[in-house]
Structure 1
Amino acid sequence: MAKKLMILGHPTIEQSLANSTIVSAVQQNVQDIEIRNLAQLYPDYKINVLAEQEALIKADIVIFQFPFYWYGVPAILKKYIDDVYTYQFAYGSEGDKLKGKKMQLSFTTGASEADYTPIGIENYRLPEFLKPLEQTAYYTGMDYLDPVFTQTMMYIPGLMGIKEEVVVNAKVHAERLIDKITQAEQSLEAVA
């Protein structure tokens, strides 16, 4: 059975309806998954690089779970990538520790699909903003899987969103993510 590692990059997961629903569903339905909550582990942003590299080495499938902030990943997740994906670990002549591992992005946005179009407020389609993460996967030898994302997931009580809709959409997102994890696991087993 493939080992799964979720890097949870939400800075305030306890305040998130969508991401906490997704993470909870994955935790309940995916066997042999380790979830590393970066904000909980490193509230001071001092990432234990060796511990994180060790977790990555053990994993076959790496899932990055996060809310899409300012056209990218939250600061704690960016710092994780910057600190952990080091020379001779993730890249370089001997940096092959991530080679062949599956990279799965799973994220939510507050903006709608219509917002992420050339005529929308965001001016670009959402996948265009993911190119740096996709290139990170390729550069480190990881197998980049099509991302799982759900839009219009912002809920602020009394101000924005409908709680019930966000929960339903988060559960559907979780089902899609679980299916992708299962497919990745099956592809690894087929090769073995």
Structure 2
Amino acid sequence: MALIILAHPKFKTSLANKTIMEEVRKSKLQIETRDIHDLYPDYKIDVKAEQDALLRHHTIVFQYPIYWYNMPAILKLWFDSVFEYQFAYGSKGDKLKGKNFLPSFTVGAPESEYTTLGDHHFRIHEFCKSLEQTAYYAQMKYVDPVYFHGTSLVAGYTINDVKNKAKDQAKRLLRRLTELDNFATLHEVP
């Protein structure tokens, strides 16, 4: 069973992330979802509840839209609060050791803008380095992210374009979760 930390400040009006989550919920996989913006609209994270949720699962998915080349503020606060000393790191901070860390996000602009000569100058993977280091520092297994470009209707994408891409991302995410679950089962990971 996987845990999805959903971090979308405007999830109710989202097109891409909402479609991804609708498709994931239709699957037969056992997945717990924690919509942290819905749980903590006041940004007062219940650290113990979040840590307990992390301890129940071997694979943790972080589902969110890219905001200014990063995660939404509530997810950053969630990491700052939940991945605390002696839980996620430190001499006794091995509670997440060996768990899978899987980013799943959406990007508004087209992929062509995420190149050296594009508007954003860097490939999307370069913006994930802090996530990768966070996983390594917490002794987790960083899994390459699942994502897609082109969620912005303002940029000319249609609702059908975005929904189809989101459904494809959900399929890729579910496939990845199944692979990770099968690997854990074969290797008897708790």
Q: Same fold (TM over 0.5)?
A: yes
Residues in 2 aligned to 1:163 and 1:108: alpha-carbon distance in whole angstroms: 14
Q: Please say if residues 104 and 144 of structure 1, whose CA atoms lie closer than 8 Å, have aligned partners that are also in contact.
A: yes
Q: TM-score, normalised by structure 2?
A: 0.96
Residue in structure 2 matched with residue 113 of structure 1 by the alignment? 111
Q: Secondary structure at the match of 1:114?
A: helix
Residue 160 of structure 2 is aligned to residue 171 of structure 1: no
- The residue type paired with residue 175 of structure 2 is D
- Which letter maps to 1:63? V
Report the Cα distance in structure 2 between the residues aligned to 1:33 and 1:174, rounded to whole angstroms.
Answer: 13
**Could you tell me which residue of structure 1 aligns to residue 133 of structure 2?**
135
Amino acid at match of 2:163: V
| TM-score of the superposed pair, with normalisation by structure 1 | 0.95
Deviation at 1:160, TM superposition (A): 4.2
Q: State the superposition RMSD in angstroms.
A: 1.0
* Secondary structure in 2 matching 1:105: strand
Q: 1:29 to 1:175 in 2, by over 3 A?
A: same
* Equivalent in the alignment of 1:94: 92
Residue of structure 2 equivalent to 1:11: 9
Cα distance change, pair 153–30 in 1 and its aligned pair in 2 (3 A): farther
Q: Which amino acid aligns with 2:177?
A: I
Partners of 1:40 and 1:87 in 2: how far apart?
Answer: 26
Q: 1:30/1:135 Cα in 2 relative to 1: closer, same or farther (>3 Å)?
A: farther
Shift of 1:52: 0.2
Q: 2:122 aligns with which of 121, 124, 127?
A: 124
Write out per-residue CA displacement over residues 42-61 of structure 1, whole angstroms, 9 at most, x where no aligned residue: 00000000000000011111
Aligned residues: 188
Does residue 79 of structure 1 match 2:77? Answer: yes
| Structure 1 residue 161, shift from structure 2 partner | 2.3
Distance across 2 between alignment mates of 1:69 and 1:18: 14
Aligned equivalents of 1:160, 1:151: Cα separation in 2: 13
Say whether residues 1:151 and 2:149 are aligned partners: yes
CA distance in 2: counterparts of 1:90 and 1:77, whole angstroms: 16
**Match in the other structure for 1:189:** 185
Match for residue 180 of structure 1 among 173, 176, 180: 176
Q: Is contact 1:30-1:178 (8 Å) kept?
A: no
For the Cα contact (< 8 Å) 1:21–1:167, is it kept in 2? Answer: yes
Amino acid at match of 2:142: Y
